[in-house]
């Protein structure tokens, strides 16, 4: 299959490397200097150093050439770049190819999930879905085993695309719960910031387990209210992604939480990180959406308070600990 990955960040590069052995893959990058570096060095030293490109992996800087023959497009842009890239794709390929996106979060200002942004730009009939679940780019590039979800409202597309992209070390499970998969992928980043704060403040493993579990309850509460299926939140796009992002040393959002616990300014944390931490922007949108819908999401609200400077990390955690007890399941 001819496959184009749009955006050569860490995850886009890892996906290109993972799919290249079995498919004709083109990796597109926007910045001319990055394109030149990728072609000359045959490695993404800026975003995913140490992994050589196979000869079969093509690099392209021209958007039209990158997508003109693609039978499947994988959008690996951060959420902030999703809408503009979709507009570019619509202009370059009026006969839209099937597409997948891998960004996670809610769009700033609109609180829309990625599939809603796709529908805005490409129409509700576009053949599309999300690739999401517990996956770090570095481990995927190493060829270490992983399992993720490919979710689409078009079950036939989800199953066909999952079969086509699946390999023994890159296992893909089809799912028809697009909303649930996206909510799980979005809100887990907020919970990872919370877990980083909890660990950074030295609250211990018991507290971490409690936070992750109650965080999953918040994710499911919002997801079901938006139309997601409860079972999704117990699967790869829910619990799986949440556990990895909250506990893995490679988690960007967890790193943000650890740094916040040290009292470092958010702006400097993000500069030092050097990559997008989607949970930072998502926390505000999720907290606002939950308030509008009357959904109780205290951990999310606490993270947003910290990120917006309304409370310090210690004070926000103490406020959570002093909440009245409830029945489990509420």
| CATH number of the domain encompassing residue 149 | 3.40.50.720
The neighbour count for residue 124, using CB atoms within 10 Å, is 10
Point out the domain boundary residue: 176, 208, 223: 176
Verify that 206 and 304 share a domain, yes or no.
yes
| Per-residue model confidence (pLDDT) at position 9 | 96
Q: Among the residues of 54-107, which ranges form H helices?
A: 63-67, 82-92
Residue 194 domain-assigned (yes or no): yes
- Residue 254 is assigned to a structural domain of this protein: yes
Is 303 contained in some domain?
yes
- Looking only at the bridges linking them, the beta strands covering 48-52 and 2-6 are unpaired
- For residue 277, pLDDT over 90 is answered with no
CA distance linking residue 9 with residue 96, whole number of Å: 23
- Taking a C-beta distance cutoff of 8 angstroms, is the pair 329, 241 a contact? no
| Whole-number average pLDDT of the chain | 96
Same domain flag for 265 and 132: no
The answer as to whether 327 is a domain residue is no
CA distance 30 to 14: 17
* pLDDT, position 327: 85
Residue 258 is predicted with a pLDDT of 97
Do 194 and 172 share a structural domain?
no
Q: Which tens digits make up the pLDDT trace of 204-227?
A: 999 999 999 999 999 999 999 999
Among 176, 210, 232, the domain-final residue is 176
pLDDT score for 40: 98
Checking if the pLDDT of 240 tops 90, the result is yes
Q: What is the per-residue pLDDT for 325?
A: 87
C-alpha span between 300 and 179 (Å, rounded): 19
Query: What are 35-74's pLDDT values in tens digits?
Result: 999 999 999 999 999 999 999 999 999 999 999 999 999 9
Q: In the structure, what pLDDT confidence band is assigned to residue 154 with cuts at 50, 70 and 90?
A: very high
Question: Which of 45-54, 227-236, 258-267, 318-327 has the lowest average pLDDT?
Answer: 318-327
Label residue 15 by pLDDT band (50, 70, 90): very high
Neighbours of 12 (CB within 10 A): 24
Is residue 330, in this structure, part of any structural domain at all?
no
| Domain boundary pick from 158, 176, 194 | 176
pLDDT of 330 higher than 80: no
Q: Is residue 328 part of a domain?
A: no
Cβ atoms of 30 and 56 within 8 Å: the answer is: no
Distance between CA 114 and CA 124 in Å, rounded?
13
Task: Please identify every residue annotated as catalytic.
Answer: 188
pTM of the model: 0.95
Percentage with pLDDT > 70 across the chain: 100
Same domain, 309 and 194: yes
Q: Are 127 and 153 in contact (CB under 8 A)?
A: no
Whether 157 and 229 share a structural domain: no
Shared-domain flag, residues 31 and 86 = yes
Quick one: 131 and 20 in the same domain? yes
Strands 170-175 and 58-60: unpaired
| 155 and 91 inside one domain | yes
**Tally of structural domains, the chain:** 2
Specify whether 37 is located in the same domain as 95.
yes
Same domain, 204 and 303: yes
Specify if 181 maps to a domain: no
Phi, psi of 235 (to 5 degrees): -110, -160
Residue 309 structural domain: 186-321
**How far apart, in whole angstroms, are the C-alpha atoms of residue 314 and residue 327?**
25
CATH number assigned to the domain comprising residue 231: 1.10.1040.10
Contact 139, 48 (CB under 8 A): no
Taking residues 296-319, report their average pLDDT: 95
Whole-angstrom CA distances from 281 to 60, 193, 268, 291 are: 30, 12, 15, 16
Query: Do 251 and 120 share a structural domain?
Result: no
Same-domain check for residues 67 and 203:
no
């Amino acid at each position: 299959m001819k496959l184009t990955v749009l955006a050569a960040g860490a995850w886009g590069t890892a996906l290109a490397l993972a799919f290249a052995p079995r498919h004709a893959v083109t990796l597109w990058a926007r910045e001319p200097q990055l394109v030149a570096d990728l072609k000359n060095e045959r490695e993404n030293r800026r975003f995913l150093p140490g992994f050589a490109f196979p000869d079969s992996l093509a690099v392209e800087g021209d958007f039209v050439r990158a997508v003109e023959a693609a039978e499947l497009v994988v959008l690996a842009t951060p959420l902030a770049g999703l809408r503009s890239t979709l507009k570019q794709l619509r202009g370059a390929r009026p006969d839209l190819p099937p597409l997948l996106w891998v960004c996670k979060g809610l769009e700033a200002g609109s609180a829309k999930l990625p599939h809603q942004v796709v529908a805005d730009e490409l129409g509700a009939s576009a053949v599309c879905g999300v690739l999401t679940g517990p996956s770090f780019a570095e481990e995927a590039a190493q060829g270490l085993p992983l399992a993720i979800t490919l979710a689409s409202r078009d079950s036939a597309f989800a199953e066909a695309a999952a079969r086509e992209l699946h390999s023994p070390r890159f296992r893909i499970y089809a799912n028809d719960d697009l909303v649930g998969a996206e909510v799980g992928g979005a809100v887990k980043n907020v919970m990872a910031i919370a877990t980083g704060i909890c660990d950074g403040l030295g609250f211990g493993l018991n507290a971490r387990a409690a936070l992750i579990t109650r965080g999953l309850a918040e994710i499911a509460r919002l997801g079901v209210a938006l139309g997601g299926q409860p079972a999704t939140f117990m699967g790869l796009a829910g619990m799986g992604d949440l556990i990895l992002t909250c506990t893995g040393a490679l988690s960007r959002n967890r790193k943000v939480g650890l740094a916040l616990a040290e009292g470092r300014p958010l702006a400097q944390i993000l500069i030092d990180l050097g990559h997008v931490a989607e949970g930072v922007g998502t926390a505000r949108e999720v907290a606002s959406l939950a308030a509008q819908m009357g959904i109780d999401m205290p951990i999310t609200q606490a993270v947003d308070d910290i990120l917006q400077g309304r409370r310090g990390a210690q004070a926000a955690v103490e406020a959570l600990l002093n909440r009245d007890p409830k029945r489990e399941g509420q």
